[in-house]
Amino acid sequence: MAFPEGFGWGASTAAYQVEGGWDADGKGPSVWDTFTHQGGGRVFKNQTGDVACGSYTLWEEDLKCIKQLGLTHYHFSLSWSRLLPDGTTGFINQKGIDYYNKIIDDLLTNGVTPIVTLYHFDLPQTLEDQGGWLSEAIIESFDEYAQFCFSTFGDRVKQWITINEPNLFALLTYDLGVFPPGVPHRGTGGYQAIHNLIKAHARSWHSYDSLFRKGQKGMVSLALFAGWVEPADPNSASDQEAAQRAMAFHLDIFAKPIFIDGDYPEVVKSQIASMSKKQGYPSSRLPEFTEEEKRMIKGTADFFAVQYYSSRLVKYRENDKGELSFLQDVEVEIFPDPSWIKLDWVCVVPWGLRKLLNYIKDTYNNPVIYITENGFPQGDPASLDDTQRWEYFRQTFQELFKERRQDHGEENARQGERHTATEARWPCEDDGKGWSNVAARQRTTRATRNSKRVYLESLCRYYS
């Protein structure tokens, strides 16, 4: 299989899932520290990230793996509470700065480009105690944190992700309550969090644009989780509409405001307004953006970062009981095709990525696309017999290159910088999502670093 010139190979991790050192050297507690220490079976086997892969003390070993793999990019997240223990610049932890400076400097010394995420679900506990993402105060707090990071690391970091998978995060945290703090607010909390997440992202983008871009010449976006959905019955109008709603509620609800016009998709607004009215609410449960906010939000991304793992079939299911939740508002049933190969929550549907990339290209004016996460789950303990994962990557790359060569033509592919395939940065590690039980994706990462090293070593062998 021939890869195009400039194709980037990367690995993707998240601070809480790999660092450990949960209270080392002045780090403050995050919501995940609190949540996992409370026990009660809310996390698989009551595991914690106290040690995780130990990357806080074993970074040099990780660097050896990165070099052995020949990666061109390394995507990692900063721990907000390691840098700012109480979430504010009132107390800055120099040991945290030193840790991330070393990572960034070591990567650059070895010819590896850092892609840095500001926020991967691990809010400082002090800010959650003040309302977290349900409070509008978080917008200013996040902007302060973002400006601190841009100022501290932006002379070397040129690719920033503000928030990781905010669409998934809002649902699991503030609607379903399976992420910390573990308190569901069905039908209301998820939408309030979405509203604040979008405004926080936009505010930080503008801070970068006005204060740092000219001198640092970097790029800023956010990373959206996206699967592909197909109507269960392609001849059913209701299933086709259900598939459109599913895409609107899980991808377009963030992408349309940021990339198109500063406002939510019409189908999202009308669907929630209709359900709210049936449930006796005086107005829609979805907050509205002011005209000024729409102008502030529109166009606040320098590239489209997408994180794809799997696809599903969708059919219409009426919320005839008027149940209150984000998922019930969509009025769909989502399920896999039984013929698809499945491991844990991931179904192997390589053509889903191809269709997703075409959807993004056609819907969002052909943006530069970075695939900032992708992968295939692996059991614990991991095995060097990684045949299933190899085949997953082989099929996925084939579909990615079909999108490049067949869907838009080889000549179009040669035009360069605005095409998905040549711009894709493909992470060869699935960001710590290879847990034994990933039912709601709220599980902590493997407690030992052995499984991570075995996985990286298997990749080294396969791609050498």
- The residues annotated as belonging to the active site are 165, 373
Query: Tokens in use for 108?
Result: 């650059």
Distance CA 11, CA 411 (A): 30
Please name the residues in contact with 338: beta carbons below 8 A apart, sequence gap of 6 or more.
Answer: none
Beta strands in 85-157 (DSSP E): 113-119
Peptide bond into 181 cis (omega under 30): yes
Beta pairing class for 311-316 and 8-12? unpaired
Closest C-alpha among 69, 72, 74, 73 to residue 464? 69
- For residue 332, CA distances in Å to 224, 229, 238, 270 come to 21, 11, 10, 16
- SS3 helix, strand, coil % of the chain, rounded to 5? 45, 15, 40
**Neighbour-count burial of 279, counting CB atoms closer than 10 A to its CB (0-12 exposed, 13-18 middle, 19+ buried):** middle
DSSP-assigned letter for residue 449: S
The backbone region for 240, taken as left when phi is positive above 0, alpha when psi lies in -120 to 50, beta otherwise, is alpha
Torsion 240-245-246-251 (CA) sign? positive
Please name the residues in contact with 101: beta carbons below 8 A apart, sequence gap of 6 or more.
Answer: 153
Contact criterion met (CB below 8 Å) for 331 and 313: no
Strand order in the sheet with 369-373: 369-373, 304-307, 219-225, 159-164, 113-119, 73-77, 8-12, 425-427
The dihedral over CA atoms of 185, 276, 439, 21, expressed in degrees to the nearest 10, equals -30
Cβ-count burial 52-80 (b if 16+ within 10 Å, e if not): bbbbbebbebbbebbeebebbbbbbbbbb
